[in-house]
Structure 1
């Protein structure tokens, strides 16, 4: 039998997608840490990790042998071993599961990507399990999300879109809660000091359902703010109404409430009858809502630095809301229903100046907030 003769070697490689290293860099700037958990050989895992810029140090490659048996090691010991690595190689499905559990026990919010049957336990245990579209049915049935294009960059794009959506929900809530708080403050203080009711029921309905209803819908179309992927993630225990939201609502709502109360008191004290005074106060509230809408376009950036082009719908909404109210001042039917009448040019100018005060105060607030520590400034903290 003739001896075997080596004719050559064939090597196979599963190349990294070109956009993945950039996606991992974007994760890092967004405060999202990326680690690799694989069953491959440690040398292979380290080579891939270097290409992905996850780690360049062999010391941060932890093998399944170094992790040890998760059933034997105590939880604290296993967590310490997990914290030492950024790449986990030659790990078993049970070790993958325990790695996820260790990160969660450490207070992290964990997302796991996988495509195989052996990834299913880890996908199930994670806060968010992300399966690849080309993966097994078991992985896809277990996961919370399925990435149909098998691209890690799509996950990062999803994080960005999620932050945009969350910000816009906060903006809408900020607008609605502020105006509601201002109205409650106005009524409570007016009654406490013995003044008549500042607004009648139909005027409140007009403010909340018509003018505010148009504005909050338009605000939901606001484009994402630049630099949103440079913010660290929110703390997992942080609620929707965090310190930043509470501060802004209380400050802006108090400004609107006190200025309108002062205007109501001054009008009545200077001989204006209730109908005429209430007509001006009603218009002032509409103007306040329109001015404050521009404050709500960003919780972090000056209203003067947010481009108008980010939301033309919002500009149309302001024109529509104000236009409807102006029309109501001159149309007899609405005059009777809303108890309003036309106002003079001097009154318009005076009310515009008063309503702009909420923008001035919130601009000062944003300027002062820039000098606070990061999590106070943005309302976000490292999680």
Structure 2
């Protein structure tokens, strides 16, 4: 009998699957009747409980897949003075004790957990809470006003002013993001979530600063899939900062001849990445014609780089649009080296380079090209 029991136990240990479980318990100061919810990546609620007199509790539940999830804490619906809080959490086997304040819905809650990754997340957002200061509260208050039904009755100019205020606060938070990331990496150099966090930031807007932060990440984080993606992109972006040597343009002219930018002898060039099937880039060619008429004799030129894959589409569009300036394409579409080398993530895309083929400015909006070109030409003279 003893042998049979040992065999049965061995079989169970070999074949029985261990299921991870999570449980939650928390307090939300100042929230008498809100809701606590954990959502998956698709936005589906998988765990939750009503907040009663500032408390909630979810007993141990099976966790099918450990990973990043979204936690939402809704405010008391009877006295909603601020927006709901939505936060990233990392779930794995164990208990999560959460403390939040309804008066500070934008601040990341205090989360106690045995999960090392959640502990790193909490550390990062603790720094974010400190550096963002009143910005989180300002954003929550403004967003609550925007979502308030009464705001729909405001005059248009007042409602637009609210939207502009929200955008201004978010811009200030984005400006602080690199500082938050830098402080986190300096304090926790062996962190495991640095690349995951950086992917959520607008690191492309300031590649030099973010590249300096990235270089401080551990070798393990850099070699992760997220780390490799960021490293490769930052490596390309730092080559596109003002003053850097601009990348080469792959492709040939419409007549099949090689493209040589140094033979054009202009002080400033607009590099126009476009596609025949893209209506916006086609319509913008009218704007480029107007700029050429004004600045063409003042050392300004346009180089259009087609991201097409069919020569007849490219040539037909050039003829239909009445384009007379330089046209280049390797007819490889999104697979063109131009896409990676110039970090083209959307069409149309505009960059400015000088006559020595150095970057002036990248990813210039169509509405900002005229002023930038005019300013550069005035300085060049």
TM-score using structure 2 length: 0.28
Higher-strand-fraction structure: 2
Structure with higher Rg: it is 1
Higher-helix-fraction structure: 1
Greater relative contact order (Cα < 8 A, sep 6+): 1
